[in-house]
Chain A
């Protein structure tokens, strides 16, 4: 019996399958087996096809695979396609109440099982609407029975899913039981090769969470006080999460809100509000995605040049333009790094998992305030919206770093405060906040040319020396940003990757090792490039840069900033909008290494 398989459920968007799928994933998680889930959904409210994939592997591989062992087909529109996606000798479970060309189904080298799901749940409720939803629980019941997931684990997951909506728990449990009963009665002779070997301690110290929720919690615990945003997929749930948890946990003793969330009229406004609030001392951020990031470009340059702390959380989706709004890509790396005209360069954080998202909730502000600049956090749809099994977060012990801010008292000892003076030689000046009650505090902030005191100037020398100081500040940033995660055993081949591409890397390395290719790894956590990147580049003969975009954006940055390594860099790319698979990565590298 194998605990290494993936399930793909094909349904119609808006049919209510989302909660059923999440219940199944949570039950698997609570059984203690490593599990990953991807929701491949359309940009649509209801009616278009949607797929949900679940990966289970006792080796800990949770990335998507592109030919699942088990397919549950509930959508007549995609039946043919779904049939083709099943792995050879896999299992194809379909709703037999759909109009199906039986001959076509039987013609494939897969085991096909037709199940009358509607009929299974027909006696549970008289409500047509509820019955439609319960059909989804019936397939959960069938799968749970086949996989031998204990009933109490499933019941707990149902209660978890419908917390606060107690009245729907009973019918959902009944539907699951009906599905189980059907499987016991009709599928008992099925030679089903997969099983969940429950490991009671397997999920200890772990949580099941998506990156956007993790980020929202990170912001709640990271001291964020102002969020200004404009709704855009796939970032909306991040701000909605912040609102929800801040309402609960961010109240002062007298019950007043210690935060504010403003839904702006557009992204031009949301980033401008963030800059205004950051200038006046708040920890302010916005969340957006590609099109919104493009609209924020002008303001990004202002935050950089006027040196105002600000945070943009960009949950990447597929571009260019409107692109595929509900699909994933790492296509904004270059534009985020250099967002705006002129010589601009931003600190970019690259979270790879929910724990990173949580920790970057504070890191982003500590860096933005320490460096007095814009920090862009680059998540993506896969990381942000899909459920991931994550290490439990730790309570943040790090005090908030508010950076170099002078108040009435400290101004007294800072002779001749100059807002843009490099007093410490690290490129980072001191700032004062509006409202400071001192004649020495006042200065004028502007996006136009300015001298060390903030006065307007068009002097060529002053302009250039200020730009050089900003470059120095970025050098300082290299020492403050999160260091890359490096695993080095002295191999000749190195892998470089970031963000959600990380999930499939352990599995890809496993596949490559089976073919005799051992690799070292560097997971990049931020831009600009941390000092530790240099040695990794130097120490390897061939470096494969794995990323999810067409134009090899990270490889481009590496070539631009580390030209000495340019000829050693090779790209492994995927940009079809679906989460990266290990097989693709391993296949490309093995081919290039002549080991395929």
Chain B
């Protein structure tokens, strides 16, 4: 196989606003893809519509991408997976794309556990239409013009837990360490890996009334655990004092480590506890980030039907003449 360099993982120049959180996320994703030695030829980059959905053009220019319809990334990904199970699907969506117009599709994607990374670049506003609230904008927050949001927010992670998602995490576009660890783990997950990333909109939601501005996130961010990821090729030994560090070995020799914070340890295999933690921190006005839930045994959408590539259609796909006659005789 061709030896890929970091340059193979970058894409076209971003056309987003300077300082947009989405561009940081793209960079962290490129780092994780490169370090995880993902074969760019076997990646499908998918998105819906919105600022976030433009970003698949900004990484992995050797991979194929599909910037589709508003809210329809989830079923598009389902179809791509059906056709070619071996493709690694990286889906980039936004809060409008996922929590409003695509909410139904998102929920059903999680029920099916379609193997893909599902990133929500979450800024609480519609950027391309100039600053209206999205469904993840917190109640009481304001637009850049001062309008107050009177309806409650949809929490992507709470919803994902409820829908049975097998990987649920939240992060912040500015947290390189946490994000690269989450991306690296998600790239190895067999199922839908939901990563809700608060990604401030520098133009329309980086003001005092927003709960998703850079300042607001830095003030409210509460890390559930400290996260790190060690690639198979990295020879790092962790200093373990035996009480605060958990190391999880993955099948390919990579390692995830979690270090508990001052708040205590969270068991990432406990879905109910994760949901309760999210509710509790929301009540306290905090933004909980980290890995909330991970089912390491998840096997994806079609565990009983191991890969038959449905993109392969040739003369062997046609049933025999004998079966044709047998079939026709039923209607005589």
Contacts and interface: CB of A to CB of B under 8 A. Distances in A.
| A complexed with B | yes
Interface of A: 203, 206-209, 213, 217, 220-221, 223, 225-226, 228, 245, 249-250, 252, 256-260, 262, 264-266, 268-270, 272-284, 298-299, 302, 306, 392-393, 395-396, 399-400, 402, 432-439, 441-448, 455-456
9 contacts: A208-B331, A221-B324, A223-B313, A269-B78, A272-B68, A282-B311, A395-B321, A400-B315, A400-B317
Given A260-B305, A279-B76, 18 more contacts: A221-B318, A226-B79, A228-B82, A249-B327, A252-B316, A258-B310, A260-B310, A265-B105, A277-B79, A279-B83, A284-B82, A298-B69, A434-B44, A434-B84, A437-B41, A445-B64, A446-B66, A447-B69
Nearest to B44: A434
B65 interface: yes
Contacts of B104: 265-266, 269
B67 A273 contact: no
A260 B306 CA distance: 12
A432 B43 CA distance: 14
A444 B67 contact: yes
B35 interface: no
Q: 8 closest pairs, A vs B, by CB?
A: A276-B79, A281-B311, A280-B83, A277-B79, A272-B75, A282-B83, A434-B64, A273-B79
Contact of A272 (B79, B84, B313): B79
B72 interface: yes
Q: Which of B74, B323, B331 has the most CB of A within 10 A?
A: B331
A250 B319 contact: yes
A226 B83 contact: yes
A257 B67 contact: no
Contacts of A436: 41, 64
B80 interface: yes
A356 to B, nearest CB: 16
Interface of B: 2, 12, 40-44, 46, 56-57, 61-69, 71-72, 74-84, 86-87, 104-105, 107-108, 112, 302, 305-306, 308, 310-319, 321, 323-324, 327-328, 331-332
B64 A282 contact: no
Contacts of B316: 252
Contacts of A221: 318-319, 324
B313 A402 contact: yes
A262 B82 contact: yes
A281 B57 contact: no
Contact of A448 (B2, B67, B87, B313): B67
Contacts of A249: 319, 323, 327
B63 A442 contact: yes
B66 A262 contact: no
Contact of B64 (A213, A228, A441): A441
B76 A272 contact: yes
B319 A284 contact: no
A377 B78 CA distance: 23
A282 B310 contact: yes
Nearest to B86: A435
Contacts of A228: 75, 78-79, 82
Contact of A444 (B2, B65, B75, B328): B65
Given A280-B80, A438-B41, A269 B108 contact: yes
Nearest to B74: A269
Given A260-B82, A272-B79, A280-B87, A456 B313 contact: no
A396 B318 contact: yes
Contacts of A447: 67-69
Given A207-B331, A445-B64, A279 B79 contact: yes
B92 to A, nearest CB: 13
Given A226-B83, A280-B84, A400 B69 contact: no
A320 B120 CA distance: 38
B311 A265 contact: no
Nearest to B307: A256
A418 to B, nearest CB: 15
A445 B86 CA distance: 20
A273 B82 CA distance: 9
A298 B66 CA distance: 16
A170 to B, nearest CB: 22
B326 to A, nearest CB: 9
Nearest to A434: B64
A234 to B, nearest CB: 19
Contacts of B61: 442
Contacts of A217: 327
Nearest to A205: B332
B42 A279 contact: no
Nearest to A279: B66
Given A245-B327, A439-B62, A448-B67, A277 B313 contact: no
Contact of A268 (B42, B75, B314): B75
